[in-house]
Chain A
Amino acid sequence: MTYLRPLLLAALMLAALSPQQGMARPIRNGGKLLLTNGITSLEGASGGGLTPWAVIAGNETSDGIGLSAHGTLVEVKDYDYQSAGVAIGIRDRIELSYTHQDFNTNEIGAALGLGKDFAFSQDIFGAKVRLAGDLVYDRLPAIAVGVQYKNNNQGAIVRAVGAKSDKGVDYYASVSKLFLSRSILLSGTARLTKANQMGLLGFGGGKQAGHTLQFEGSAAWQLSRRIAIGGEYRRKPDNLNIAREDDWFDAFAAVAISRNVTATIAYADLGSIATVKKQRGVLFQLQTAF
């Protein structure tokens, strides 16, 4: 019986890796068009910077397996944020990701009684499946669903600020399409979430304890093979009594420096965070993908 679980896992892996058309076709990695793997969103799903797209991490097509890794820095008026993570894309169909986020409160930590440079952190495990369609080629847009399991590392503190839990799961569905005739990419995501500031301030609160439905979207214009510019919007829940949470906006430029490296710079408006308003600043990300 002890062998059952590894055997089952091995069988699942083989099923995922084996050719789906029943033909003996060797694995072939790489091959996506530049920029069409997107960048890595703050929570680790491939997409835009603030919101997932219905694309799968890595440079693989349906014939291969891809990998990506990223680091993101956000410097807003009073806070610093860093995240780093990895993702695997299997046959341009399934994406599994892990991301660690750190959110440093700097001077505000002292004002809030948490101590100067107090940092919230959490780990996020994500899974996404592209159900149908294609970002570039088919008439049907790419359609994907995903989950993000979030585990905040400061349980006692987030409960003290009014969160109901230090763990939560987001569920989302994304639809994305690159309209080649206009060189424009549009993507929309609906997310069920109870996370406060992505979960960095815990999950649920006095105003709203459970999941609420939130909408997110990206629009991008491809200027050249290597450069795209655009903007994003992310509607946020407002669960905590003590700290209002605002919707997020950004304006970004993403550059495919090479086939394997994408750099993104964005101006982000994250609104009020942990009682301090007007958190605007710069987001910078480096992503490498194979």
Chain B
Amino acid sequence: MSIILSLLLLQAPYALPGETAVDPYVADNRHAGAAPFEGDGMAKAFGGQDGIRRIVDRFVAINFADPVIGEIFANHDQVRLKRTLFEQFCFILNAGCSYTGRDMASAHKDLGVQKADMNRLVETLQRAMGEEGVSFQAQNRFLSKLAPMRRDVIEK
């Protein structure tokens, strides 16, 4: 019993119930790809965890439906993507989460993301943040944390 439980616990970071299994890895907040903001200003600007969850859900939905980058997402586990993106955003915005997803290079390996796709992604995120009422200045502050990740995201 305890073996099964510990196995379950060990497995938890990779994939939660309802998510497709992924190859094992060690979870680490550094995989989020950026140090979190200090203080609670950015978390408030994004409406706390509730706001961040709405933004991520909307962001993922827009991306899956997008005529330009939708096909990059087409075969992805939407449930897992929403959870790990929420954790990543929440961690970076210092809204009280740990990030348990993979690092950016592993998560985007072989997706064939081009610079134009990355820019499109910025636009869909701007749309999702805008719909939640996040100010443009706070949006850009958040984007400044994500921008350096491009080198790990795009196809070399």
Chain A interface (Cβ < 8 Å from any Cβ of B): 21, 28, 30-33, 61-64, 92, 136-139, 179-183, 222-225
**Contacting residues, chain A, for B144 (C-beta < 8 A):** 179-181
Q: Nearest Cβ distance between residue B119 and chain A, in whole angstroms?
A: 5
Other-chain residue from A28, A137, A181 in contact with B150 (beta carbon distance below 8 A): A137
Q: What 5 A-B pairs have minimum CB-CB distances, sorted nearest first? A: A31-B116, A180-B144, A181-B144, A61-B115, A137-B150
- Interchain Cβ contacts under 8 Å between A and B, 24 examples: A28-B114, A28-B116, A30-B116, A31-B114, A33-B119, A61-B114, A61-B115, A61-B119, A62-B115, A92-B115, A136-B147, A137-B147, A137-B148, A137-B150, A137-B151, A138-B148, A179-B144, A180-B144, A181-B141, A181-B144, A183-B137, A225-B123, A225-B126, A225-B136
Given the known interface contacts A137-B147, A139-B148, A180-B143, the answer about A31 and B120 at a Cβ–Cβ threshold of 8 Å is: yes
Are the C-beta atoms of A180 and B147 separated by less than 8 Å? Answer: yes
Other-chain residue from B116, B123, B137, B140 in contact with A61 (beta carbon distance below 8 A): B116
**Contacting residues, chain B, for A32 (C-beta < 8 A):** 116, 119
**Contacting residues, chain B, for A222 (C-beta < 8 A):** 136, 140
**Contacting residues, chain B, for A225 (C-beta < 8 A):** 123, 126, 136
Are the C-beta atoms of B119 and A21 separated by less than 8 Å? Answer: no
Task: Report the contact-size class of chain B (Cβ under 8 Å from the partner).
Answer: 20 to 34
A-contacting residues, B107-149, CB 8 Å: 114-120, 122-123, 126, 136-137, 140-141, 143-144, 147-148
Nearest A residue to B116 by beta-carbon distance?
A31
Chain B interface (Cβ < 8 Å from any Cβ of A): 114-120, 122-123, 126, 136-137, 140-141, 143-144, 147-148, 150-151, 156
Q: Chain A binding site: helix, strand, loop or mixed by DSSP?
A: loop
Q: Chain B binding site: helix, strand, loop or mixed by DSSP?
A: helix
Given the known interface contacts A28-B114, A225-B136, the answer about A33 and B123 at a Cβ–Cβ threshold of 8 Å is: yes
Question: How long is the Cα–Cα vector from A144 to B20 in the complex, in angstroms?
Answer: 46
Question: How long is the Cα–Cα vector from A182 to B141 in the complex, in angstroms?
Answer: 7
Question: How long is the Cα–Cα vector from A224 to B140 in the complex, in angstroms?
Answer: 10
Question: How long is the Cα–Cα vector from A180 to B147 in the complex, in angstroms?
Answer: 9
**Contacting residues, chain B, for A28 (C-beta < 8 A):** 114, 116
**Contacting residues, chain B, for A139 (C-beta < 8 A):** 148
Nearest A residue to B147 by beta-carbon distance?
A137
Q: Nearest Cβ distance between residue A154 and chain B, in whole angstroms?
A: 44
**Contacting residues, chain A, for B123 (C-beta < 8 A):** 33, 225
Question: How long is the Cα–Cα vector from A179 to B136 in the complex, in angstroms?
Answer: 14
Question: How long is the Cα–Cα vector from A62 to B137 in the complex, in angstroms?
Answer: 28
Question: How long is the Cα–Cα vector from A31 to B119 in the complex, in angstroms?
Answer: 7
Interface centre among A32, A61, A138 (most CB of B within 10 A): A61
Other-chain residue from B136, B148, B151, B156 in contact with A183 (beta carbon distance below 8 A): B136
Are the C-beta atoms of A180 and B141 separated by less than 8 Å? Answer: yes
Question: How long is the Cα–Cα vector from A224 to B126 in the complex, in angstroms?
Answer: 10
Nearest B residue to A34 by beta-carbon distance?
B123
Question: How long is the Cα–Cα vector from A182 to B143 in the complex, in angstroms?
Answer: 11
- 5 more contacts with CB within 8 A, not counting A31-B117, A33-B119, A138-B150, are A136-B147, A137-B118, A137-B148, A183-B137, A222-B140
**Contacting residues, chain A, for B151 (C-beta < 8 A):** 137-138
Other-chain residue from A31, A138, A183 in contact with B140 (beta carbon distance below 8 A): A183
Interface centre among A28, A179, A180, A222 (most CB of B within 10 A): A180
Question: How long is the Cα–Cα vector from A137 to B147 in the complex, in angstroms?
Answer: 5
Question: How long is the Cα–Cα vector from A179 to B143 in the complex, in angstroms?
Answer: 10
Question: How long is the Cα–Cα vector from A183 to B116 in the complex, in angstroms?
Answer: 21
Question: How long is the Cα–Cα vector from A31 to B137 in the complex, in angstroms?
Answer: 22
Question: How long is the Cα–Cα vector from A253 to B119 in the complex, in angstroms?
Answer: 23
**Contacting residues, chain B, for A62 (C-beta < 8 A):** 115
**Contacting residues, chain A, for B117 (C-beta < 8 A):** 31
Q: Nearest Cβ distance between residue A155 and chain B, in whole angstroms?
A: 45
**Contacting residues, chain A, for B140 (C-beta < 8 A):** 180-183, 222
**Contacting residues, chain B, for A224 (C-beta < 8 A):** 136
Question: How long is the Cα–Cα vector from A180 to B142 in the complex, in angstroms?
Answer: 8
